[in-house]
Amino acid sequence: TAAQDMPDMWNKGATANAAHPGLKWFREAKFGLFIHWGLYSKLAGRWKDSSYYGSGEWIMYRTKAPATEYAKVAQTFNPTGFDAAEWAKTAKEAGIKYLVVTAKHHEGFSMYDSKVTDFDIMDASPYKKDPMKALAAACKAQGIPFGFYYSQFLDWHEPNGGGNNWDFKNKDYQEYYRTKSVPQLKELLTNYGPLGLVWFDMPGGLTPEQTKLMIDSLRVLQPGCLFSSRVGHDLGDYRDFGDSEVPPVPIAGAWESIYTHNDSWGYIQHDLNFKSPREIIHLLSNVASKGGNLMLNVGPDGNGKWPAYSVEYLKATGKWLQTYGESIYGTTWGLIPAQPWGVTTSKPGKLFLHVWQMPANRQLRVPGVTAKVKSVKILGSNKTLTWKQLPEETIVELPVTLPDTRNTVLLMEYSG
């Protein structure tokens, strides 16, 4: 399916800046890690005597907590269990190729050493260290491109920030951008080495012209840094789909689907609905089969520890990638649509068949390959398979058992 045949909703907002140098690593990366971490992580889905489910990072908004009261959470926010090297090492083991962490979410609390405000981890909490400095360094040591999520408009702590209408009225958004967002973005783009990307979120309060001026003033600081599409007004370098969306058909250009590991971005203690390794592997291969990246979110707790299931399941995914990574990293979308047995990804001369589901008769039907098939083998083993190429389809004979019942990938090489 060509991009221009697609329904409008998938076509809108093509990337403004397809020539951006950062898009090379981004497009090859395929698997990113999103980390939502802030004061809400310590609240863990609870406020006073009530429990909340889903989007734990929105708890201040859902409870309409007064800004002064919510800010007190910072006084006991002391994530002594945080270990940047461990985060980066786990990401590496998981096969992650870029990492994006919340520098400031909508709650307004800066998780880094900011001179722009006292409502940051340096000044308002007992921790007295900059976890983002450590994390940037740890990612660099592991060779993982590092990026910041930054909520540029919504800020429920600030009288002029977007979103908090229960404490504050008559806002001056321009003032907010001038005195907080822009200076903070400049700090982030100056003090943490080369960034892979800045992940903006939820634009608002600026005209397209004003947004363009802001973006231009930031781009000069790090021309190599990508800006996500939620900077607004089609000024981003790659596309992000809405939360937990995979397009139904291949999409040209650089893009990313974002998913949470459980049902929340920010840590919620009573949410144990984690996606299994099988689900993550299917998600990753499905997104790759449409030509995009998967950025999977983990929500560390208020002490800086990842949920045990996230560590375990991500490492299991990494183990799968050690065998089958060739069928994910650096690939483009599959040349044929999704099949009853699974999906495909491709490289020049190579079609990767992701077998999620063994056909009952062990005959894998691959329609639409017109080039001459040269070989079919199971990735990660020396096992070659026999096949029969017919005009309409190629039929591959599968062995009685496949090495990985979640997703065994076959490599089909063809010429012409």
Applying CB under 6 A, what is the total number of residues that bind ligand JFZ? Answer: 9
Residue 241 or 320: the one with the smaller Cβ distance to ligand JFZ is 241
Residue 257 or 344: the one with the smaller Cβ distance to ligand JFZ is 257
Which of residues 20, 30, 42, 55 is near ligand JFZ by CB under 6 A? 55
d(C-alpha 177, C-alpha 207), whole Å: 12
Q: CB 149 → ligand JFZ: shortest distance, Å?
A: 7
- Identify which range of 55-63, 139-147, 157-165, 394-402 contacts ligand JFZ by CB under 6 A: 55-63
- Using CB under 6 A as the binding rule, whether residue 107 contacts ligand JFZ is answered as no
E strands, 181-337, where?
197-201, 226-227, 239-240, 255-260, 293-298, 332-333
- Identify which range of 52-60, 69-77, 89-97, 285-293 contacts ligand JFZ by CB under 6 A: 52-60
- Using CB under 6 A as the binding rule, whether residue 244 contacts ligand JFZ is answered as no
Residue 243 or 397: the one with the smaller Cβ distance to ligand JFZ is 243
d(C-alpha 226, C-alpha 22), whole Å: 6
Residue 264 or 344: the one with the smaller Cβ distance to ligand JFZ is 264
Q: CB 404 → ligand JFZ: shortest distance, Å?
A: 30
Per-residue three-class SS string for 340-393? CCEEEEEECCEEEEEECCCCCCCEEEEECCCCEEEEEEECCCCCECCEEECCCE
Residue 57 or 158: the one with the smaller Cβ distance to ligand JFZ is 57
d(C-alpha 160, C-alpha 79), whole Å: 29
What is the dihedral sign for C-alpha 266, 271, 277, 283?
Answer: negative
Unique residue bearing structure tokens 């992701």: 354
β-strand partners of 387: 396
- Residue pair 202/153 in contact (Cβ under 8 Å)? The answer is yes
Residue 266 or 380: the one with the smaller Cβ distance to ligand JFZ is 266
Q: CB 346 → ligand JFZ: shortest distance, Å?
A: 29
β-strand partners of 98: 32
- Using CB under 6 A as the binding rule, whether residue 201 contacts ligand JFZ is answered as yes
- Identify which range of 50-58, 63-71, 109-117, 183-191 contacts ligand JFZ by CB under 6 A: 50-58
Residue whose CB is nearest to ligand JFZ in the complex, by number: 242
Q: CB 258 → ligand JFZ: shortest distance, Å?
A: 6
- Using CB under 6 A as the binding rule, whether residue 256 contacts ligand JFZ is answered as no
Residue 192 or 265: the one with the smaller Cβ distance to ligand JFZ is 265
- Residue pair 230/203 in contact (Cβ under 8 Å)? The answer is yes
- Residue pair 69/323 in contact (Cβ under 8 Å)? The answer is no
CA–CA distances in Å: residue 303 to residues 44, 73, 174, 412 = 11, 13, 35, 47
- Residue pair 244/256 in contact (Cβ under 8 Å)? The answer is no
Residue 223 or 242: the one with the smaller Cβ distance to ligand JFZ is 242
Which of residues 242, 340, 348, 391 is near ligand JFZ by CB under 6 A? 242
Which of residues 265, 324, 352, 356 is near ligand JFZ by CB under 6 A? 265
Residue 42 or 406: the one with the smaller Cβ distance to ligand JFZ is 42
- Using CB under 6 A as the binding rule, whether residue 392 contacts ligand JFZ is answered as no
How many CB atoms neighbour CB 25 within 10 A?
Answer: 15
Q: CB 202 → ligand JFZ: shortest distance, Å?
A: 6
- Identify which range of 51-59, 179-187, 189-197, 366-374 contacts ligand JFZ by CB under 6 A: 51-59
- Using CB under 6 A as the binding rule, whether residue 57 contacts ligand JFZ is answered as yes
Residue 106 or 406: the one with the smaller Cβ distance to ligand JFZ is 106
DSSP element (H, E) containing 415: strand 408-415
Q: CB 103 → ligand JFZ: shortest distance, Å?
A: 12
- Using CB under 6 A as the binding rule, whether residue 202 contacts ligand JFZ is answered as yes
- Identify which range of 8-16, 42-50, 53-61, 164-172 contacts ligand JFZ by CB under 6 A: 53-61
**In 123-156, which positions are buried (b, 16+ CB within 10 angstroms) versus exposed (e)?**
ebbebeebbbebbbbbbeebebbbbbbbbbbbbb
Of 8, 16, 410, the residue nearest 233 (C-alpha): 16
Structure-token pair, residue 180 = 């907080």
The contact set with ligand JFZ (CB under 6 A) reads 55, 57-58, 201-202, 242-243, 258, 265
